[in-house]
Structure 1
């Protein structure tokens, strides 16, 4: 029994010694790391830009960038304790989401993950990531459409004139009343896009996995006399280098497996306005070299309502799908197109694991091939 224990102890000592000798001292006993911490962040944002000024403990000589966009969305340090970066909200991984504030009101916010790389060219363990949120004023998403404003002004003026003729309105300045009502209606108009998991999970609301059920929602609050629909949707990598068309100019899907036509929800009347949402359920996907998926669509605004389009016959032209050409001032006339966009992080753990397995198998096969070559060479030399 003592001989068995002695052998076991011997082999254990040999294994530990071999493991220690397999790694250099720098890995077995890592040196302490000096981290230039981010101690403060000042944020401002509007519809088109996300501006950040980061304050660090020490002068910063590295580079600050949006995660996944180190070469395209960055700014170099200048040996100052503070560094600023300006990012477009339509790319660089900027995400728009909504939540209820303390008063129970809907609150919109942009978010991004910034990376402070300590060296301008090298990634190190001392590099830091920081998740930032910037609350966006609700007025930022108001719709600015001159053509829609002209239609509403004409309708309000006509309505005021009729009311005056039948004695309902007796104010001296009807034009002033029309202007006030028009401003009220336009300032209340909103449109934006959200991308969320189908299953409500607060812990992963900002992240999807490839193949996971997700929902694209376009939300709008518009004047009662204005119709709308979702058209011309595109998926891109955040820079426009890689893109995939999802809906055509009529709102018809290019490939229903990628994104079907959004379904219009019920109308919720709000005084002179109406709130409505269009939703499309899809399986999350991503571009190979990015973990951020960006989607952009256009809201087509119409007088009264937007005509329905038959997407079934792909041989018809865009004009023929409507069945007729709409004249100016007719119901269904297209007034304007407004762009809405958003992004979401999409991970592919199954794909990444498969690639690691394939790489490992390839490495093993390469090693086996090399050994066979050595054996054959040795045999040849022996002969």
Structure 2
């Protein structure tokens, strides 16, 4: 009876168009999302500090996207949590744009994930792009050796040589040493260096995300005092944490592999009063690490007095450094003063490679000798809708009931036939109403296979005696 009621319930569920096992059941519960009320940021050249204020007390975890285990902070059951990220990793990206006055505005950005539970991802989790505008003095070149070298040039005894050389480099003329030192301090307050990573084709782009193989530009920009040269050396690509890395340029600025990153090409020098602005650009095909979508690049700028010594990258690797460098760094011009670090990141995806790898896994797992079609991934499971599953159970239940009925009918017919046979045997064996019936009974006993007799074996035997 209970089985029939269950089958009727399933049939009514199927035909009503509402499933008792609907996968959308979770949307019927209210979503108690703890939303972000406000985000406060502060940043410099090394740190990106984020303060998140939530609507209610937060007990989950906040982290930079793609860095859930390394760049995170746990909630403390309060409405405020603080996260500090290094600008050289954790997916932090530097972009530049022009403000209303035409000045360059630098901005750090990172995609922050607010996970409601510490261990589980839910539909109520939030993602927010957090930006921080950098102050003008964040990328100042703070190099004591550079300042010392420029100051020593001002304090030279040969004033005529000093003034003439400084004039060639853009410094003011007819200034005494005190005035030149003030101008030097002003120049150092404007010295900057930074890196940008941008797609080569930026028109009609909704984001800075690039795909593997797409051409992107690595641009290093610097504004340094006149009489100071620089070049790019020691470039490395890493995954944002340093767990995986790849060398791109060596300590002399020569490429390790031209297919990964060629030698940067320097553009023309643009004078700005006593400063010199110059850019170096390298085009390369975007690549990524297998377990990260964020590609971080980090390079060093070698600051030289005058022009940096030229390097012949075509020399053999086993040659000495003196033969590889065109002129000695010990000379007045070309002397290495300091090294600065510049870095940035970009999001790189690989949809074609990921799809191809999945296809190769399916082909590799298929056994074409024993199975004519590629195997279904996993354990060969297949998915059906809830309505079809309910209808299948109904059909199987009806078949089961019909089978039970058929078996019951067969048992009843067999029992009825056995009762009829026993009734006939009883009348033949024990009836004594007449002599004819008795003779018939004896003959039946003699020919009955129940008692192990047959007509052929008893044909020569004597019949029973006379019937009294």
TM score, norm. by length of structure 2? 0.70
Residues 335-381 of structure 1 show CA distances to partners (whole Å, capped at 9, x for unaligned) of 1110000001111111222234345554774459988xxxxxxxxxx
Q: Deviation digits for residues 129-155 of structure 1, max 9, x if unmatched? A: 000110001211110111111111122
Find the counterpart in structure 1 of residue 27 from structure 2: 30
1:45 equivalent in structure 2: 43
Q: Do the aligned residues in 2 keep the contact of 1:63 with 1:77 (CA within 8 Å)? A: yes
Structure 2 gaps of 5+ residues are: 1-10, 165-171, 367-372, 381-468
Residue correspondence of structure 1 range 291-306 to structure 2 within 5 A: 291-306=293-308
Q: Which stretches in structure 1 are left out of the alignment for 5+ residues?
A: 1-12, 372-383
Residue equivalent to 2:94: 96
After superposition, the C-alpha distances for 1:160-202 in whole angstroms (9 at most, x for unaligned) are: 9339999x9887xx44323311211111111000000001236
Distance 2:119 2:222 in 1: 44
- Following superposition of structure 1 onto structure 2, how do residues 3-14 of structure 1 map, counting pairs within 5 Å? none
Q: 2:321 aligns with which of 314, 318, 323?
A: 318
Q: How big is the shift at 1:104?
A: 1.7
- The equivalent residue for 1:106 is 104
Looking at structure 1, the residues matched to 153 and 42 of structure 2 have their Cα atoms a distance apart, in angstroms, of 38
Residue deviations 1:88-112 (CA, integer Å, cap 9, x gap): 0000000001001122211011000
* Structure 1 residue 117 corresponds to structure 2 residue 115: yes
Answer yes or no: is 1:180 the counterpart of 2:178.
Answer: no
> Does residue 1:153 correspond to 2:151, yes or no?
yes
More strand by share: 1
Picking from 220, 236, 250, the partner of 2:222 is 220
Compute the TM-score of the two structures, normalised by the length of structure 1: 0.85
Aligned to 2:336: 334
Give the conservation status (yes or no) of the 8 Å contact 1:222–1:274: yes
Length, aligned pairs only: 353
Deviation at 1:230, TM superposition (A): 0.5
Mapping 1:205-244, distance limit 5 Å? 205-244=207-246
SS at match of 2:205: helix
CA contact (8 A) 1:206 1:344 kept: yes
1:247 pairs with 249, 252, 256, which one? 249
SS of alignment partner, residue 359 of structure 2: helix
The SS at the match of 1:30 is: helix
Aligned to 2:278: 276
Cα RMSD, aligned residues only: 2.8
Greater Cα shift, 105-114 or 351-360: 351-360
- Is the Cα–Cα contact under 8 Å of residues 265 and 278 in structure 1 kept in the other structure? yes
2:156·2:162 contact (CA, 8 Å) conserved in 1? no
